[in-house]
Amino acid sequence: MGKVRLKHVVLFLLLSHQFIMTSAVVTNNRLLLAVGLATGAILSSYNGSYDWSPSTLAVLTAIILVTLLPTAINKADSSSCTAPGYSLHPVLGCIKLSTSTTALTPEQWVAKCAEDGGKLILINSATENQALVDFLKSDPKDVVIQGSRVSVSSPWTTDDGQPLPFVGEFQGISNLAGTLRIIFTSSGKWASVNPTNVFPNAVCEIPV
C-alpha cells in the first residue's frame, strides 16, 4: 500500500485519542491508554511498511507523553462517587459536608462518616487546605477533620495512627497539654480542641 506519512500517524492518534482517553478515565488505568496509543501507531504503519526513523520515533514519543498527561490530573471518576450527599470535588475527591442536629464529638463523627463507608477528610497539602476553604465559602463554618495527638510531645496523627501528611497553621495555642483533636475553621486555620467537645459539622470523604 506504500509508505504511510508521519502526518497520517499523527492524524490517526489525534482522532483516536478521545475514544482511548474516555476508556482510560473510566477504568482509571493509564496502561490502557498507553496500549491503545501503541496499537494505533502499529496499525497506522500498515504492517511495518512505514520507515520509522529516529526523528519520527521522537515525535511519536512526544505525542504519546503529551497525551498521557491529562490522566495524571484525574483524581477520581465521578461514577465511583455515588453515596447520598457526596459529590466529586476536583481536588478533595468524593466528599460531603455532614451536619448533625445533635452536636457530636470528633470520635462520634468518625463513626458517622464510617456509616457512609467513609472517614473524616484528611488534608494532604496546602492546596487541599485552600480547596476546603473554598468549598466552605458559600456557607462558612468550622468542621471536624482528621488529626489528633495524645500529648504535647506526640506528633499529630491520622485516624489510622499515621503522621499527618500536612499540618496547617493553628489559630491560638496548639501545644495544649493532653489529648487533642483538630477542627478546621472557616478561615482555613486549624484549632486544637478537647476530644470531648461537640461540633455540629464535619467533612467526610469516601476513597475512590
The number of distinct structural domains making up the chain is 2
C-alpha cell at 204: 467526610
CB neighbour burial string for 60-86, b if at least 16 within 10 angstroms, e if fewer: beebbeebeeebeeeebeeeebeeeeb
Same domain, 87 and 69: no
How many residues make up the chain in this entry?
208
Same domain, 44 and 92: no
Assigned domain for 29 exists:
yes
C-alpha cell at 38: 501503541
Q: Which residue has the higher pLDDT, 140 or 58?
A: 140
Assess whether pLDDT exceeds 50 at residue 183: yes
Same domain, 140 and 45: no
Cα distances from 194 to residues 17, 47, 180, in angstroms, run 53, 70, 5
Same domain, 23 and 100: no
Band the pLDDT of 64: cuts 50, 70, 90: low
pLDDT for res 171: 86
Domain boundary among 44, 73, 102: 73
Residue 155 DSSP one-character state: P
pLDDT for res 79: 74
Assigned domain for 31 exists:
yes
pLDDT for res 80: 84
C-alpha cell at 176: 495544649
Which domain, by its residues, includes 176?
A: 78-206
Residues 125/171, Cβ–Cβ less than 8 Å: no
Assigned domain for 111 exists:
yes
53 CB neighbour count, 10 Å cutoff: 10
Assigned domain for 1 exists:
no
Same domain, 107 and 20: no
Same domain, 19 and 68: yes
Same domain, 98 and 57: no
> pLDDT tens-digit profile of 80-122?
899 999 999 999 999 999 999 999 999 999 999 999 999 999 9
Same domain, 92 and 42: no
Same domain, 154 and 90: yes
Residues 150/181, Cβ–Cβ less than 8 Å: no
